[in-house]
Structure 1
Amino acid sequence: MKKLHTNHLHRESTFTYPFETFEDTSTGKGYRRISPKGILAHYPYFYLNMFNQAGNTLLMILEHEGNRNIFLLDMEKETAKQVTFYHKSDGFQDFGPRFGPDGSTLIYVVHNQVVRLNIESGHVDVLYEPEVGWETYSVVDGSSDGQYLVTIDFLKSDYVNKDNSNWEDFMLQGQRGLRSKLLKIHIESKEVDMLLDTFYYEAYGLKKNQWLGHPQFKPGDNHMISYCHEGFGGTVDARIWLMNTITRDIHCPRKHTYEGEIISHEFFTHDGEKLGFVRIAHDDSDKGSLRFVNMNTFKEETIMDLPRCSHFITDAKDNYIIADADYPAKPYLYFIDINKKKTIPLLLHNSSMKSYGNTQDAHPHPVFTPDSNHILFVSDMEGYPAIYMASVEEFVREDKRNE
């Protein structure tokens, strides 16, 4: 097993900087940049646990001299603490870090290993390393009780381009396929359960060496995992899949109804009752809809028809949605009251969605803070990806008054 460059983790850097305030030109809504000015910044993939238990510290990624590392941002004190010191050559996967269940650890991928960092001591524990010739996925999800992780390994020799830093490579990879193994890891024992290998996917009547992505545990259920068939837009046969890790049965809860239909960016609601996703009629469409599949009945519900959106997610109580419209639609962030079916154009995110070395860099990936009073989003509206925060407390407060 390779040794981690643990000496990178013995330093510590803390700095304070002011959050800058802006006003949206379309709605007049105020918002703040909460990452340092002039520095490329983003937070982890939008369904990962990026806040500590108290909800006042955000896990964010900053880039300095081409090196991306984890910083913990105290949003009340406007102070950031650097907790990793990796070099670009270390292979740190910057969209995959997440807090462990008690907030004292961080779990992420570096050196092609899934590791756990103790924030206080700086100790790094290797939880998993793939076999020679394989690379582990950048995003690792955890079960609600903190016992298990789920990830995917990819066969390196199947890569079109290992860096996958542009959409052309992404499209080619989807066409070629990428042998993938779906894995469940017991954190304490480090035992690995290989759930699925797409080399044998034809046994399910599916494409051999299908490229898999975005494995997620259903909240409150250690034995139900969702994953996706990766690929570009409407070229995917069927995006969303579920696996029972005991029986190994797989099921597509939402089949595509025609060639070219786009289903994307699935996530579980916090109560585990529903699976959300974006549906777009076809690649050139400027319209879309936000939908849920009931995890008990598998019936589909359309929450809202909107201009074309890339992502959406619910707040901690599953009462509200924040969604980001994508071109050719006008690039608004939409705040949605699920129960009232009420939609508010909050502000323009104005992000280009372009790559700055990673295709995800300038994706808004809007999320709620744990108290539901603010939303965060990423945008390159100032010429580089940065993290912004806007209050939605007035809408939440109005709802509470009317209860």
Structure 2
Amino acid sequence: MSPDDRHLYFVRGKRQLIRLELATLKEEVAYTVPAGWVGYGTWVANSACTKIVGIEIAAEDWFALDTWQKFNEMFHKQPRCRLFSVDLATGKQQLILEQKGWLGHPQYRPFDDHTVAYCHEGPHDLIDARMWFIDEDGRNRRCGKAHEAGESCTHEFWVPDGSAMVYVSYRHDSPQRYICSLDPVTLANRVLTEMPPCSHLMSNHDGTLIVGDGCGQASGDSSASNAMLTGDPYLHLFDLSAGPGRGTTRRIARHDSSWGVYKGDRQVTHPHPSFTPDGKQV
């Protein structure tokens, strides 16, 4: 959604970035994926909504990720991917990074178009360093955090004021999960609070409140864990205003969803909660 609430941007058929004018429902094609490539995952705009970052996978390496097993197979295939930005006024693409290896989750740092975050994608227990930063011109690539032995990090997101990246850390031999924070400049990591087995988190504007969806077990795939050790049917609210290690949490609703695949899509059956812009509702 554009900051002025006039336009909605979405990707259609992994080929076209569409700009929809909400008042008239008129559509424009803002960008078309070039031949030989397939658009992948979520594309994210900068704060001013003048450009967007995305991921494309080489068409010869791409296949539909309509099961969790295929998600694992894509990791092992090590597809050729490229991270890019698009000027939303002109549709011009700028290449940021191209490599053999699955990339995902591209995000501009809020209020800092110079910094782009992305991830090494795949089953959590097979990734040794998920979170990465790179300058928009393709220089200064740096690893946000190398995982410790047995550790997985997942679902990183920017605090909307741009102050930090927040992510979930857990170990495969333990049900405990932790909300952690990563400084994009110093790369310092710190634990904010312990948490129930949530999956997807999002914060209010300054990161003092976070909401997360408890989740059921995922694939049960023997080649990669993906699954939580325990399921949880609730939405949880975390109040971190008292500072690291002093946060509180409470359940605010049941969602009773799953990580099941529905009509060939793995992403439509779990909630992905977030705050309204005024921070008063979820």
- Equivalent residue runs for 1:244-263 within 5 Å: 244-246=135-137, 248-258=139-149, 260-263=150-153
Q: 1:329, CA displacement in angstroms?
A: 4.2
Indicate if the aligned counterparts of 1:217 and 1:224 stay in contact, CA closer than 8 A: yes
Partners of 2:7 and 2:253 lie apart in 1 by 34
SS in 2 for 1:246: coil
Partners of 1:177 and 1:151 lie apart in 2 by 18
Q: What are the superposed Cα offsets for residues 152-202 of structure 1, whole Å, 9 maximum, x if unpaired?
A: 11112112xx3211101001111111111111111112221111111xxxx
Q: 1:329 to 1:304 in 2, by over 3 A?
A: farther
Q: What are the superposed Cα offsets for residues 242-290 of structure 1, whole Å, 9 maximum, x if unpaired?
A: 01113522111111112x42111111001101001011111x5422111
Partners of 1:152 and 1:243 lie apart in 2 by 14
Q: 2:114 aligned to 223, 233, 243, which one?
A: 223
SS in 2 for 1:127: strand
Indicate if the aligned counterparts of 1:101 and 1:146 stay in contact, CA closer than 8 A: yes
Is residue 296 from structure 1 mapped to residue 199 from structure 2 by the alignment?
Answer: no
Q: What residue in structure 2 maps to residue 192 of structure 1? A: 93
SS in 1 for 2:69: helix
* Structure with the higher fraction of residues in helix conformation: 1
- Equivalent residue runs for 1:231-380 within 5 Å: 231-246=122-137, 248-258=139-149, 260-282=150-172, 285-327=174-216, 328-340=230-242, 341-357=247-263, 358-375=265-282
Structure 1 length as normaliser, TM-score? 0.62
SS in 1 for 2:262: coil
Indicate if the aligned counterparts of 1:315 and 1:321 stay in contact, CA closer than 8 A: yes
Structure 2 length as normaliser, TM-score? 0.88
Partners of 1:326 and 1:106 lie apart in 2 by 29
Q: What residue in structure 1 maps to residue 224 of structure 2? A: none
Q: Structure 1: where are the runs of 5+ without partners?
A: 1-98, 199-208, 376-403
- The one-letter code matched in structure 1 to 2:11 is V
- Equivalent residue runs for 1:20-99 within 5 Å: 99=1
Q: What are the superposed Cα offsets for residues 62-102 of structure 1, whole Å, 9 maximum, x if unpaired?
A: xxxxxxxxxxxxxxxxxxxxxxxxxxxxxxxxxxxxx1231
Indicate if the aligned counterparts of 1:116 and 1:125 stay in contact, CA closer than 8 A: yes
Q: What residue in structure 1 maps to residue 32 of structure 2? A: 129
Q: 1:109 aligned to 11, 24, 27, which one?
A: 11
Partners of 2:153 and 2:51 lie apart in 1 by 27
- The one-letter code matched in structure 1 to 2:280 is N
Q: 2:50 aligned to 147, 158, 173, which one?
A: 147
SS in 1 for 2:60: helix
SS in 2 for 1:222: strand
Partners of 2:237 and 2:33 lie apart in 1 by 41
Partners of 1:246 and 1:158 lie apart in 2 by 26
Q: Structure 2: where are the runs of 5+ without partners?
A: 217-229
Q: What residue in structure 1 maps to residue 71 of structure 2? A: 170
Indicate if the aligned counterparts of 2:96 and 2:138 stay in contact, CA closer than 8 A: no
Partners of 2:178 and 2:142 lie apart in 1 by 23
Q: 1:317, CA displacement in angstroms?
A: 3.6
SS in 1 for 2:128: coil
Indicate if the aligned counterparts of 2:179 and 2:193 stay in contact, CA closer than 8 A: yes
- The one-letter code matched in structure 2 to 1:180 is C
Q: What residue in structure 1 maps to residue 223 of structure 2? A: none
State the superposition RMSD in angstroms.
1.6
